[in-house]
Amino acid sequence: MVENVNLGKGEDQASTPEKHINFVEEIINGHLKSGRFGQIVHTRFPPEPNGYLHIGHAKSIALNFSLAEKYGGLCNLRFDDTNPSKEESEYVDSIKADIKWLGFDWEDREYYASDYFEQLYAWAVKLIKAGLAYVCELSAEEGREYRGTLTEPGKHSPYRNRSIKENLDLFAGMRAGAFPDGSKTLKAKIDMAHPNFTMRDPVIYRILHDHHHRTGDKWCIYPMYDFTHGQSDSLEGITQSICTLEFENHRPLYDWFCEKLEIHHPQQIEFARLNLTYMVMSKRKFLTLVNEGHVSGWDDPRMPTISGLRRRGYTPESIRKFCEYIGVSKNNSVVDVTILENHVREHLNAVAPRVMAVLKPLKVVIENYPADKIENLEAVNNPEDETAGNRIVPFTRELYIDHDDFMEVPVKKYFRLAPGTEVRLRYAYIIKCESAIRDEAGNIVELRCSIDLDTLGKQPLDRRVKGVIHWVSADHAIDAQVRLYDRLFSVEHPDKVEEGEDFTSHLNPDSLEIIEHAKVEPSLLGVKASERFQFERVGYFSVDKDTTPEKPVFNRIVSLRDSWARITRNS
RNA sequence: UGCCGGGUGGUGAAAUGGUAUCACUAAGGUCUCUGGUUCCUUCAUUGGGGGUUCGAAUCCUCCCCCGGCAACCA
């Protein structure tokens, strides 16, 4: 029907789909066309080192670094460390490790806003000399009162009209440590009646007798974000300064400082931050989760932190693709977490070696198979990747299969094992269930089966056996701990809470199930942390750092799509 | 209430005055020694009203809804 399909290039088009240009790229194209910044594109990722990075940051990182790459420019890493009381070098290290893990490289351009303190100070003096800044002695609370409200304009500080000389002396005194914390601030003199609060004489310097992670005790006054960010961008020759929507109100101030200081003036561009269903995404809430013990730490595999996703087993490729896929816009949106999950499935389907692992072991004894016989059967490592090769799995008289693969009274369309029915053991033979053995409590603890030895590598001609199940040899199986992770919250929007509740009331009580004695195939002996596998018919798993040579520990990254579970759920 | 943003299927994004497009989810089907993968099919007239126009998601206008802003945080 469609005539304009280019058949010759069809595969190329599929692998590199015609990507729509997002609004940020449109703006950049405009800059390139007008020559506002010449033909240069220079972005930056500016984290505050006061917490761990999360998937929302990954969106910003991917955006900034990818834009630079796409336009043949550069992207800096800059730590926005203007608040000494909250920032630590521990976070600097983790942030750098996370960005590297994601696969981005700032090369030698690792900058710190604190490196610009001296220049920032000089610019503050310049503002004072231009009559555009003054030392104010209103307390924080008084400052709030003077700022006015949504509907009423603010009023002028009584200190607003000091002489330039007095301001200069006072500001020098602030730097010299002559005044206690909170006693004075330096404010920009703009417009107390401005409809935008950020323009109502904003504080640009405050007194903080605090130790800074990089400048030590050199300073006791520190610049505010608004007086730092744009100037830092300017010093680094940034062209497009990309940030999230909540800074939109700050753009007039960003512009004001660049203009009044007469310095290189980057363009601030705001985009919508990432939200995911079944997740919260703020440092404060993460802290609550950690401090109240709902998770084991910032790198708990259920956390949407980069370190959590990494430990869970997510691949950096899948996170990058996800970030590209969701796009960039100014719409406040909530992305369905299944999209993230599908990206990691897609990647792991292509690259993860397949193995057999039995999570809930049920012993199977094949009565017509010799007790002393061991057959080494060949299994495909990855049907999606011919180069992955084959491996050997030992087959013996006593096996384990998964409890879920047996039903004493099978429901309709169930084609796994049941009394009297047959099933294919993956890569091995067809067996038939002859009887089930119970313990005293009535639980089924063992199956007695018979084998059809004429079914290895071929289908029987006289009948169709549809079910295929995984198994491990009881004698050869390795004992493993398996941690089944699920969504941390049980509702799509955990932030939406009733009166008197908070987001923790939506925690999913079943977000972690630990299986102490799973049985996995012997090829898994000696696995190393962060290796990833597909447990056939079950899901994708990665080796946790808690693994020991004696006992491997696996984290479930994500289950396989399970259309059987869907059928049973719907009926 | 003031200012700034934003409203396109259940979800995320396209379409920049000219046939509402691409994915995800969901549902159904195909294939299969993974109930995985693959492949196929189905699912919106763009927040609402009015206007301009041969023609509007796109332009004008009024209204509605959602988000952000009143830290000496970023």
Structural domain contains residue A16 = no
Query: How much is the average pLDDT of A23-37?
Result: 95
The nucleotide minimizing the C1' distance to residue A183's CA is B72
Provide the CA A242 to C1' B49 distance, Å, integer.
Answer: 37
Do A175 and A319 share a structural domain? no
Q: What angle do CA A42, A45, A50 make, to 5 degrees?
A: 155
Structural domain contains residue A529 = yes
Measuring CA to CA, how many Å separate A475 from each of A76, A130, A398, A417, A461?
56, 84, 7, 22, 32
pLDDT(A8) > 70: no
pLDDT of residue A6: 30
pLDDT of residue A568: 82
Provide the CA A152 to C1' B1 distance, Å, integer.
Answer: 10
Query: How much is the average pLDDT of A488-506?
Result: 87
Q: Count structural domains, chain A.
A: 3
Q: What angle do CA A410, A416, A421 make, to 5 degrees?
A: 75
Residue A513 to residue A407: CA distance in whole angstroms: 23
pLDDT of residue A1: 27
Structural domain contains residue A18 = no
pLDDT confidence band for A61 (50 / 70 / 90): very high
Do A132 and A73 share a structural domain? yes
Do A290 and A267 share a structural domain? no
- Of A476, A505, A534, the residue at which a domain comes to its end is A476
The nucleotide minimizing the C1' distance to residue A243's CA is B74
pLDDT of residue A398: 98
Q: What is the pLDDT of residues A293-352, one digit of tens each?
A: 999 999 999 999 999 999 999 999 999 999 999 999 999 999 999 999 999 999 999 999
CA atoms within 13 A on the CB side of A193: 0
The DSSP line for A414-443 is --SB-TT-EEEETTS-EEEEEEEEE-TTS-
Structural domain contains residue A147 = yes
pLDDT of residue A498: 74
pLDDT of residue A86: 80
pLDDT of residue A19: 63
Residue A188 to residue A205: CA distance in whole angstroms: 9
pLDDT of residue A571: 63
CA atoms within 13 A on the CB side of A217: 2
- Of A456, A476, A496, the residue at which a domain comes to its end is A476
Structural domain contains residue A416 = yes
Do A135 and A265 share a structural domain? yes
Provide the CA A462 to C1' B48 distance, Å, integer.
Answer: 66
Structural domain contains residue A1 = no
Per DSSP bridges, beta strands A203-207 and A185-188 are antiparallel
Query: How much is the average pLDDT of A149-178?
Result: 97
Residues forming a β-bridge with A244: A271
Known catalytic residues of A? Answer: 48, 273, 283
Among candidates A130, A125, A143, which has minimal Cα distance to A184? A143
CATH number at residue A307: 2.40.240.10
Structural domain contains residue A15 = no
CATH number at residue A253: 3.40.50.620
The nucleotide minimizing the C1' distance to residue A405's CA is B35
**Percent of chain A surpassing pLDDT 70:** 96
Q: What angle do CA A495, A496, A497 make, to 5 degrees?
A: 100
Provide the CA A148 to C1' B66 distance, Å, integer.
Answer: 26
Do A389 and A289 share a structural domain? no
Q: Which residue is nearest to nucleotide B73 (CA to C1')?
A: A83
What is the Cα gyration radius of chain A? 31
The nucleotide minimizing the C1' distance to residue A151's CA is B2
Do A519 and A447 share a structural domain? no
Do A496 and A381 share a structural domain? no
Q: Which residue is nearest to nucleotide B21 (CA to C1')?
A: A20
Task: Enumerate residues 6+ apart whose C-beta is below 8 A from A159.
Answer: A134, A135, A136, A137, A138
Do A154 and A65 share a structural domain? yes
8 Å CB contact between A452 and A460? yes
Q: Where are the alpha helices (DSSP H) in A177-223?
A: none
As ranges, strand B nucleotides with an atom below 7 A of a protein CB are 1-8, 10-16, 22-28, 33-38, 66-74
Provide the CA A2 to C1' B42 distance, Å, integer.
Answer: 19
Torsions phi, psi of A516, nearest 5?
-75, -35
Query: How much is the average pLDDT of A182-188?
Result: 98
Structural domain contains residue A58 = yes
The nucleotide minimizing the C1' distance to residue A410's CA is B35
Do A395 and A287 share a structural domain? no
Query: How much is the average pLDDT of A96-112?
Result: 98
Residue A316 to residue A310: CA distance in whole angstroms: 8
Provide the CA A332 to C1' B7 distance, Å, integer.
Answer: 10
Provide the CA A35 to C1' B9 distance, Å, integer.
Answer: 40
Average pLDDT along chain A? 94
Residue A520 to residue A400: CA distance in whole angstroms: 10
Residue with tokens 């063992």: A446
Do A343 and A367 share a structural domain? no
Do A258 and A120 share a structural domain? yes
A480: number of Cβ within 10 Å: 23
Domain range spanning residue A301? 283-351+480-570
Please state the ipTM of this predicted complex. 0.95
**Percent of chain A surpassing pLDDT 90:** 92
- Of A424, A448, A476, the residue at which a domain comes to its end is A476
Q: Which residue is nearest to nucleotide B25 (CA to C1')?
A: A338
8 Å CB contact between A224 and A206? yes
Do A288 and A141 share a structural domain? no
Provide the CA A179 to C1' B11 distance, Å, integer.
Answer: 55
The nucleotide minimizing the C1' distance to residue A274's CA is B12
Residue with tokens 């007095």: A166
Identify the H or E element spanning A447.
strand A444-452
Identify the H or E element spanning A310.
helix A306-312
Residue A334 to residue A140: CA distance in whole angstroms: 36
Measuring CA to CA, how many Å separate A321 from each of A16, A63, A206, A302?
12, 11, 42, 20
Tell me the one-letter amino acid at A465: V
